[in-house]
Structures are given as structure tokens and as C-alpha cells.
A and B are shown apart, each in its own frame.
Chain A
Amino acid sequence: MLFRVFAKDQLINLYDILAVNHIVGPVSKGVDRHGAPLYDFDFIYDFAELQLDYTATIHSLKRFVLPPRETLCTFDLQTDSWQKHVDFNADKPIVYFGLHACDINALNKLDKVLLGNVFPDPYYAAKRKNMFIIGVGCMPQPFCFCKSMGTDSVLHGFDLFLTDLGDSYFVEIHSARAFTFMSSMECREPRHSEHQRFLEVTQERMNRFTCHVDTTDLTKILDLEFQADVWQEWGKKCLSCGTCANVCPTCYCYGIEENVDLSLQHATKTKHLYSCNLIDFAQVAGGHNFRPESHDRLKYRYYHKHRGFVEAFEESLCVGCGRCGQSCLANITVPEVIRSVRGEGGDHA
């Protein structure tokens, strides 16, 4: 990896160099009812919109790589045959400007499932291969537990990673194309004092984590506590609304729907992201529902994230971004659920 440093006022130059492409980054979405700022990822058309010092976005980056609704193909129906048209829906490269480590790690995890198996998902791949990613260091929020999930720093899956040193950015360069862009920027190699400053900033960030999840032996504990009463308690609270899965950067479950249009001459195959908390998630042909109870569905969401995925890939599918807990109207949060399953924390639900 190569390192560079550039003055903060140079950031706009980096933006301008990249602005020949579409740019997606954190933008302001107003304030909540307590006056706290809200952020989300969106297309950016002006450097001034880019909010690099954002706290956290409401939704993950998923809408750009795994859209909630996506047309997989369309059909022209003829008398005795049909013609299928496939579009991977990735017509342009997109620069993602200002992703936190958790969200880059989330993409790396999605890659394992969607690119790393026998049948890679071409729709995801087309978008994923058309990304230029600029990461940015963050300050942990009270709900962030990425440190517990080992996703507080990121080692690959980005082109550039910026760390704020006060008056300058410390830059990690992780790709040849990123190096090319940096060559046209006013920047230099970091001095020894800046190495020190980088480590200080990193340490300061580490000290700021307040939210933790004990993942020790978690796969075993989840198996041991499969019948635990706490699941029932969380199930009573769960709205089965799918919000957690929608805001989650790594939930990828989906359903497929085929519709014939009114003229009976065309048809569309559409993919819808689904959530394992929705009531008919485990309903099969013939009508049997394997998980009619809300607590079962909620439990299996945790089992997939913290047990099944770990057994398959030796890492959790959760990146600790805390979005699910923040968005859950019923206040169901990962740290609280795991704590209760471990038999800690007493009065939780």
C-alpha cells in the first residue's frame, strides 16, 4: 500500500478530477425530531453537498448495488415463442465518495456470497465492478459496534482511504487507478510526524467506542440457547416490518416476481429484496409456513448473521454499523439481543 498526504483544501480537486463520473456520497437529509442531523447516501452534483464528516447514514449503500426492486429481464411474447432481454442495470461507473470502514467491509462480505460462489450474481457483479471507492475515517457513534465485529478498519475493497489529520488528509492508496488520479493531485509522501499523527488519530478513535458486543463463542452460545425464552420476548416486540433488513448493508435475501403486462405481449421478471422477518418469508408452495411466529423469524435472522455465516466464512455477516437498531421502532438492537441470549443484562425486553 502507498501513502500520501494532501492539504484539506485539495479535497475539492480530488472531487473535480472524479466528477466526470457519477458521484455518490453522504448528503444531508435534514434533521430529526430532536434536531439531530440526518444523512443518507445519494447522488452528488456539487462538492458542497458532500458531507464527509457525517455521523452515519440512515440506509446503507445497498440501493446502489442490490436495489430493493430490480428488473432482471423482460420478455417479448410472440405466438409460439418469446424473446428475453437481459440488462444488468449497470450502465455507468460510479464513484463512492466517503464510505466508512463498516460499509466497505459490508461490500466485501456481500462479495463472498454473491461473487464467490459457483453461480456469481451478474447483476451485482456488474455494479460492483463499476465502483471506485473512497473510504473515510469516522468517529464511532454510541450505537456503533464495528470494533466488536472486527470491521472497524478495512484492508481491501477500496481505492483510496482518507483519514482526517486536522489540516490535512492521510491517504491510503489501494489501486493503480487511484494512484493515477492521485498523480494529478498536489500531494506528497507523509513525514514521520504524520505517521505518528495518523496512529494517534486511529488510537483516539479506538478509545471512543462505547458500544460493544461480546462475540466470544457466540456460534456455540446461539446453538445452546436455541430454545431460550428471550427469543419469545424479542418476538413480542418485533413488528415483522423488514426495516432492519432494508437498512442492513449485508442482508441480501430476495424474492422473484413475474408479471405479464396488460397488453399480454410483454412480461417482466422482477427481483425484490425481502426480509426474513416478514411473515411469509418461510412460506412454501402449498401454503405451509415454516416460521409463522415472529420470534422464530427474528431468531433466524440472528442465526444467519452470527452463526450460519460464521460457520461458512469464519466471519460474521454483521458489520456492527448499528443501523438496524437505530431504525427499529421497537428498539431491538443487536447488542441488546446478543447480551440477552448470553444471559447478561437481565431486564432487556
Chain B
Amino acid sequence: MAKIQRTKLSKERIRSAWIFLTPMFICLAVVAIYPLITTINYSFTDARLGDLYNYNYVGWFHYETLFFYDEWWWVSVKNTFIFSFFSVFFETIIGVTFALILNNNMPARGIVRAAILIPWAIPTIVNAKMFQWMFNQQFGVFNEILMDLSIISEPIAFLAYPDSSMAAAIIVDVWKTTPFITLLTLAALQMIPTDIYESTRIDGVSSWKVFWNITLPLIKPTLVIAIIFRTLDALRVFDLLYVLTTNSRETASMSVYARQWLVDFMEVGQGSAASTLLFAFLTIATILYLIITKTSFDRQGVY
């Protein structure tokens, strides 16, 4: 008797869940799934911007071009991964460090917490333009400081060369997105009951061990989410590189490459193929992260 009632109840709950979820699925279908399918469809055609309705199917032609004939696609893939890896790596380390510091009771904690949000609040374009001036060879504040400290004798043209402009882009991105990691980590840290720390203090456990064996496992689910978000974000980097660097194909990311084919060259087919591959990379990255970190979202319940 009791069993039947539960089933009935859960059936009802499942039904209402579907009813509540339907609007979201419709929204997703319109804003995400439809464009995605359109893009994948275009990637097999010779469509051109300016005449999007007359096209022929060309099979895997664009993918073959990308894989075997266009060295610049692979340069953009390499750039994107270098950018994503270093940017996420540094902002995770710095972000968690900041969160640990802010989690302590310290004076003016509220103000400091608000202050670290400022980089996150500045639009990327403004950010990129601002740093472009700071990295400027003639008038840039970085060169000014390095010259004053006699670290360098001649001003450096940071943004002129592919390697140094990639490093500059990573620095700007770390500066901008560290607060994101900090905030999420801080929220997770504050969920940890303080009595756990009290008992470790009584047992005389070293603070490094406490961090490694207690704090880190407890914040891991949150941190994984934060890192996945940031990685997905970094893999589709566009605006920062587009504005900050010289815009040559030596520093292009996958998104910059795809936009160039879609807009500048008007070859929607090739651009869509590049976008589809970028989408594939994002999917693979997400799956890999979930497998490697073995995070079960069901078990955590909160998500």
C-alpha cells in the first residue's frame, strides 16, 4: 500500500518536473540547439555570406581542408590550448590562494572582497584596450616601471611578437578571471563546518596537511565546476586576443579563425566547420574533466 502511494507521488513529481522543464527545453532548442544544427549543416556546404540560401553540399571537404591543408588552423588550435592551459592553471592557483586568505577573519574583509571583483566586472574589450596601453612600448606603465627599476635598459615591445603577446594575453586573462575562481572557492570554503578545523587543531595537524586532506577534498566539487566553466570560457577566447594582440594569424585562437572565415572571407562553410570542431573540442574537454576528476554530481546533491 505504502509502496503504491510512493510510486504515484513520484510519478506526479516526475510529471510536474517535465512541465516545469519544458519552457527551458524550448528556450534551449531555440537559442542553442537550432543554431548548432544550422552550423553543423553549413559546415558540409559551400555557402557564402551574402547568399545564405543557395548552396551545395560538399561533404567532408571543409574538414579535410582543416585537417590536412590549412596549417593556420592547427596554429590556432595550438594557441587556444596554450592560452587555456596557462590561463586556467594560474588563475586556479591564485584564485584559491586569495580565497584562503579572504576566508580568514581579517580587517576590512568586506571591502577587500568587493574590491577583488572589479577586474571581473570590467568588460573584456575595455580590459584589453586598457592593458594594450599599459603594455605599450612608448607610453606603457609596465615599461616605465621596469625602466625606473633599471631591470631593462630599452623599452620592450610586448605586443609586437607572437610569443610575448600570447604571454600578455594570458596575464590579462588571469587578472580578469581570478576573481571568479576566488568567489566560488570562497563560497565553498564557508560551507565547511568550523568544528572540523577545531579538531585538527587539537590533534596538532600541520596546516598544509589540513589543506591537502580536508579543505581541498571538501571544496573539490565546487572547484571542478569553476575550472570547467573557466576552461570552456578560455577555449572559446575571442575578444581578448582580437583586441589585444596584433591580430596576425600567428596569435589567432580557434574562434578568431572561425570568425575570419565566416565574416572576412565570407566562406560560411569553412567557418562553420571550424566552429563545429571548436564545439567538439569543448565537448571533449568537458567529458575528460568529468572523468578525470570522477565527480559525481548526483552524489553531491547540491547541484
A binds B: no
Residues of A at under 8 Å CB distance from B?
none
